Amino acid sequence: MNAPAVSLPTRPLPALKNLVSRGERYTPVLVTAALFVIMYGIGVARYPAFGYPQVFVNLFIDNAFLLVLAVGMTFVILTGGIDLSVGAVLAVSTVISAWLVTVHHWPAPAVMILILVGGTVFGAGMGAVIHYFEIQPFIVTLAGMFLARGLSYVISTDSITITDPTYTRLAQQRIHLGSSVFVSVSMLVALAVVAAAFVVLHYTRLGRTVYALGGNEQSALMMGLPVARTKIAAYAISGACSALGGILFTFYTLSGWSLHAVGMELDAIAAVVIGGTLLSGGTGFILGTVLGVLTLGIIQTIISFQGTLSSWWTKIVIGALLLIFILLQRSLSGRARG
């Protein structure tokens, strides 16, 4: 007796589809990780000193302020928004810090608290305008960028050197991990911000709502999620990170200047996108952002070790990588819809 014929499914099972979709979510991050490893390997192969542990640690030390900015930008982009004001907020934070501690002799802790509160309120204000007046984030944050940059020019058009002992001590503090490796206070602060953002995004209700808001805002509203509060919180976090980035930048330069961080908002966006976060929102990982910042840092380091190339090649390479990753995201999102 013949066995009954078994019809094979002509379409993938839903579980298989979900598995493939989940794998595609990690593809940009894995590509960034592979790119970083390849570039690091090329640097070690070409330049013997490139493999020193301190060179790797310097990627974090020299880009601590950018890493903090990119963390805040990740929250905003995950909601489907954008924040063009982060570089200007960083600049005005350095100017206010230098002006208060150097000219008016305010205590450093009070200045730092004021800067952090001011940045948070500024970001929350932009988020409220974006949500309640239904204005595009590009326009609101562009206005915020001009406002913050203009305020820094009003305070001072000259560079103000910081001689406050607290700032100087924190800027020069080196924490040795051995005979040949040290870390800075800025690096430790940046890593703490990354750890906190990772916990918030993946283990709290706020983080889950951020992802839901970026996935589909109308669906999030119908599910009863606190859309307004979450959107305002995302921009408040970005503003706080920008202010904190400004404090870390003062440790890096010991100065406040209205022309600091011109264009740094684009570096932060590039790091987030190269790290695998979709510009349309809803998909991305904070560790991907870290990889994006390290990738930008290693490009600068290789060009520095090479010695004969103009520093502008950094922008050219970053622009090419950004275009490639946007096309990769477009391809993956197209396949997911298909």
Q: Which residues of 274-295 are buried (b: 16+ CB within 10 A; e: fewer)?
A: bbbbbbebbbbbbbbbbbbbbb
Confidence band (pLDDT; 50, 70, 90) for 80?
very high
Percent of the chain at pLDDT exceeding 90: 74
Looking at the predicted structure, is the pLDDT value of residue 9 above 70?
no
Reduced to 3 states (helix: H, G, I; strand: E, B; else coil), residue 292 is helix
Nearest to 144 by CA among 86, 95, 91, 94: 86
What would you measure as the largest C-alpha separation in the chain, in angstroms?
98
Confidence band (pLDDT; 50, 70, 90) for 60?
very high
Confidence band (pLDDT; 50, 70, 90) for 8?
very low
Confidence band (pLDDT; 50, 70, 90) for 17?
very low
What digits encode the pLDDT tens for the residues 97-150? 999 999 999 999 999 999 999 999 999 999 999 999 999 999 999 999 999 999
Looking at the predicted structure, is the pLDDT value of residue 16 above 60?
no
Amino acid (1-letter code) at residue 309: L
**Range 283-304 average pLDDT:** 92
Q: What is the mean pLDDT of the chain?
A: 89
What digits encode the pLDDT tens for the residues 168-184? 999 999 999 887 899 99
**What is the four-CA torsion angle of 144, 149, 154, 160, rounded to 10 degrees?**
140
Looking at the predicted structure, is the pLDDT value of residue 10 above 70?
no
Looking at the predicted structure, is the pLDDT value of residue 300 above 80?
yes
Res 335: pLDDT: 58
Nearest to 134 by CA among 201, 218, 211: 218
What stretches of the chain show up as alpha helix (H) in DSSP?
Answer: 14-46, 53-62, 64-78, 86-98, 108-132, 137-155, 165-172, 185-203, 205-215, 217-222, 227-253, 264-274, 286-306, 313-337
Cβ proximity of 172 and 250 under 8 Å: no
Res 162: pLDDT: 95
**Range 186-202 average pLDDT:** 97
CA-CA distance, 70 to 64, in Å (whole number)?
10
Residue 7 phi/psi, 5° resolution? -85, 125
Res 15: pLDDT: 46
**Range 201-211 average pLDDT:** 95
DSSP state of 145: H
Res 7: pLDDT: 47
Q: Which residue has the higher pLDDT, 242 or 22?
A: 242
Res 333: pLDDT: 63
CA-CA distance, 211 to 217, in Å (whole number)?
10
Res 41: pLDDT: 93
Res 275: pLDDT: 92
CA-CA distance, 34 to 189, in Å (whole number)?
26
Looking at the predicted structure, is the pLDDT value of residue 43 above 60?
yes
Cβ proximity of 111 and 176 under 8 Å: no
Amino acid (1-letter code) at residue 147: L
User: Which positions ≥6 away from 297 have C-beta within 8 Å?
Assistant: 59, 62, 63, 66
Looking at the predicted structure, is the pLDDT value of residue 18 above 70?
no
Nearest to 289 by CA among 23, 25, 20, 28: 28
